[in-house]
Each structure stands twice: as C-alpha cells, then as structure tokens.
Chains A and B, each alone.
Chain A
Amino acid sequence: MTESRTTDAIVAHGLAVGHRGIPVVADIDLTVRARSSLALVGTNGSGKSTLLRTLVGLLAPVSGELRVLGERPGAAPQRLAYLAQFHASGFILPLRAIEVVRMGRYPNLGLFGRMRTEDHDLVAWALETMGVAYLARLPLRSLSGGQQQHVYLAQVLARRADLIVLDEPTAGLDAGGRERYLEAFAAELARGAAIVTATHDIAEAVEYDQVLLIARRVVALGSGAEVLTADQLLDTFGIVLRDPHAHHAGRFVVAERAHGAPQVVDFERGSPD
C-alpha cells in the first residue's frame, strides 16, 4: 500500500479523450501526484466532463497513454471516488441519506463483505464532516438539491479514495456548504489523496496546485498564477471580467462568450479595454 500511494495518481502522455473514437480534446500531457490537486477550467462542452469520465474509466481513451493509480483507468475501484455532475437516479428510489453514504463503502466490501465497525464509523464521520448527520435517516427524495449534494459529497468522503474526481461539486451549494466542502477536501489532500475537479469558479481554481484550461483543446496547464491570466482565460472563455482592486490570480470572473469578439471588461468601468 505504501508503495502504491507513492505512485502518481494520474499520468497522461499525448492523451486524446472523446466519444466513440472521435476526440474532443487531444494532446493532453499531465501528471497529478498524490497529495496534489488539479482543477479543470472551461466552458460547458469544453471537454472537462469527457476528460473526467475517461480518468475514472467510463470512457476509453481515444488515443495516447493514460495510467490512473498506476493501472489502466477503472482497474482500481477501491481507490477511486467519482462524483458526476448529474445524477441519473430518478428520485423514486426508496433510500435514506445514510444508505447513499454507505454505498461509498461498497467497492471495498464487494458483493459479500459485511459492514464492519470501521465502515460504520467512516459513514458517520463523513455525514458529520459534511454537516448532514441530522439528515441521515431521512428519505433522499425528501431532501433539497443542495442537501442531496452534501450527501453525495459525504459518500465520496466515506470512500477514503486515493484519487477523488469531482465534476462541478460546488454547483448548487450555498456559501456555508462551499466552505465545508473546501475544508473537507483540503483534509483529504492532507490525508494523501489526489483530487481532480472540474469547475467554472476561477477564484476556487486558484487554490489548486495545478490548473488545466480547456476549450476542446489544452489552452494552458500550470499553477494558478501562471495559467489564470487574462489572455489565457480569454482563450478559454471568450469574455473575462477583471476586478481592478484585486491583485491575485483569482481576480478574474469569466462569462461564456455568446457571440462577437473576445473581450476583457473591468469591473468598475464596465467597458471593454
């Protein structure tokens, strides 16, 4: 286990990802180490979700090399956690919140393994950490969208994974939920996990060790300070708002380009520069 933890969580060389053999994003070279984080930043349809789904083994790589947790993607379900952006389940499912979190232990338990004290403790801890212990016995379908997202994040925590892959996990969370999420997943990094997250939020992306800007191609990969510049964001999103009073890499706010030329807009003046 010690040895496997020291291997890189993700190594990609010349990777192309896509659907049915048709690439959406090509020429991806990246390495994500244990205890480090990567943010994917891009618009809807930029290929973020396609890359994430390839990392967890739901899509086969179109071409190139990809090792996840030292193996081919999807070969190590016990060490991987994935939270999709949308959930397929109709909420007719008669499930209580706690059962959703317990599912996080299934990869380790397999078909027949019994939930041990240790598993129950992890489930209770995860619910507590996401602040939803009080919802544990309530039916999932009676919870609000935000509450359900907390429960799903608790499921991810309960998995104790070495690689955590999250697709826009903060969408639908309020400020308090966002803070709780950031704290909990910072602790997961400290524990030794690697985290890959797709996000629209530039201010949040700055907090990650690496940022990959993606727009159906790799625009830039590097630290937040290197990558989150007006030009690069312009390349990624087409329109960028700048806060002239802030002087850190997170001072940009992006909007998706509807039409017309790319532009950078200062917050105060509200006019193109």
Chain B
Amino acid sequence: MGPFLDPFLDNQFMLRALLAGIIVSFSCAIVGTFVVLRGLAFIGDALAHGVLPGIAGAVLLGLPGIAGAAVGALAMIAGVNLVTRLTRLSSDTAIGLLFVSMLALGVVIVSGSSSFAGDLVGILFGQILGTSPEDILIQAVAVMIIAVIAVICARPFLLLSFDPEQADVAGFPSRRYHAIMLLLIALTVIVSFQTVGTLLVFGMLLAPAGAGALLAHRIERMMAWAAGFGAISTYLGLLLSYHFDVAAAATIVLVATAIFFIVLALTSARSQVPAGLSPGAGTDVRP
C-alpha cells in the first residue's frame, strides 16, 4: 500500500496511536470550539498544566495517573473560582497564579523522586505510541460523554458564547453552564494527556478549532472543520514521525498549528483577518 498506509497496517502500535489520536481530535474539536469562541484559552492552558502535580502525585502513590489528573483539574477549577470570588482581581491573574503554582508543585513532586525523570517527559509530551486498548476505550467513552453533553447544552452554550447575560435572562444560568464547559475542558485534558501529553493537548484544543473558526459561519460546521483538521493532523503527524523518526505527539501538534497558519494565510489573502481574532477579542473569562 506504499509509505502512506503501510506504517499503520504493519504496526499495531501505529494503528492504535492513529485511532487514539483521532478520538482525541474529536473531543478537542467539540470542546476546543467553545474554548476558542469564549476566549477560554488561558484557563484551558492552566488546566492542561494544573493536572501535572495530580498525575505526579498519583504515580508516586502507585495510583492511576488519570485519577490524579482528575483531582488536579478539579483543584484548579475550584481554586480559580475561589480566588476570583474572594478578590476583585481579574480571573486571568487568578488563573496565572494557580497555573504557575500547580506547575511548580508538579516539578517539586517529580524532582523529589529520582526515578521520575522519564515519566515527566511522558506526562508533558504524551506517549501516543504506547497507547493501550484500554486507553482507547476510555477515550471513546469520554468523547461520547462530551458529545452528549454538548448536544444537551447546545442552546445555553450558544447563548453563553453570544453573551453570558443573554443566557441568564433567557433562563439558562451562565454560571452553571460555564462550570459545565470547564468540566468538559477538564475531561478532555484528563483523558487526552496519556496520548498527546498535557503540554500538547492544549495545542489540539486550539489549533484545529481556530482554523475552523476562520472558515465556518455556523458552530456545527466549525466543529466539523476542527474534527477534520485534528484527524488529518494526527495522520500526517504520525506518518512524519514514523518516516523521520521524530517525536510523535509533538509532530502532530506541529502539523495542526501549521494547518492553522496556512488557513489563516489563505483566508487573509481572500479578505481581511476576521475581527474576532484580533488581540484582546473575547479574552474575557467569566467565573
């Protein structure tokens, strides 16, 4: 079948990686669309890093990393809510501080255990080539949960993206649906970190959805574009990493960001850059 399919047909681990990467792309397409539309990139980034001490702590105690990631993500969300409620500091200050402290805590935990260095790289950059059938199962369940919640919450999520106060007045409390959105981001990060890693899951959340935002005039189509771009990035990234023997997850994210910039260049050439992507647009994060 040639160099484009053989790596996947000849190697079980490549096939599993492809499957896992595509499933992660679908989760990231749904959730990333709202991350991009609502300007939640920073809290997404913070969640992706906030899980680090949780994972490190769990591994240290001999527990599954995914459980530690869940604890880390929930602690992060609770912390951001607490700090923004107690002070008049803007939420990005609160997010930034928690983000840095969680990351530092993770590194401290890891550095305290000498056997840990290899795992740290694994946590940050993923082990997509080591994906197990159980990982795929967990991700498949997660993407279904995410899709069902996104369908149920389609109207409040749209109102929330349009104007949080409109959501409140329309009888869909913005706080509640914002919290659900944060939990979806957390769920995506938690189940994706083993494949693409905490550092790079963030790229998969933003790049395909960002490219989709440049092309679509409807939210469903933006998600469809994002899912397509994510799947193509996974395939091309794995292929390139196989043939050139470079890190798989990082290559996938590089392809995804390259696609974003190509789409940006093409759409900018056709018209002006959509105003929404200018700096500062939609950076408001409501707790």
Contacts and interface: CB of A to CB of B under 8 A. Distances in A.
B53 interface: no
A210 B162 CA distance: 32
A126 B161 CA distance: 23
Listed residue (B37, B171, B213, B219) with the most chain A CB atoms within 10 angstroms of its CB: B171
A141 B218 contact: no
B276 A84 contact: no
A182 to B, nearest CB: 23
A90 B170 contact: no
Given A107-B171, A111-B152, A111-B156, A96 B166 contact: no
A84 B152 CA distance: 27
B91 to A, nearest CB: 15
B217 interface: yes
A103 B170 contact: yes
Interface string A76-87: 011010101001
A109 interface: yes
A58 B159 CA distance: 15
A139 interface: yes
B100 interface: no
B77 to A, nearest CB: 22
B39 A90 contact: yes
A91 B276 contact: yes
A90 B281 contact: yes
A57 B217 contact: no
Nearest to B280: A90
A77 B170 contact: yes
Given A87-B163, A103-B170, 12 more contacts: A77-B171, A84-B163, A88-B165, A88-B284, A90-B282, A92-B36, A92-B274, A94-B218, A99-B158, A103-B155, A111-B153, A111-B156
Interface of B: 36-37, 39, 152-153, 155-156, 158-159, 161-166, 168-172, 213, 216-219, 221-222, 274-277, 281-282, 284
Interface of A: 56-58, 74, 77-78, 80, 82, 84, 87-96, 99-100, 103, 106-107, 109-112, 139, 141
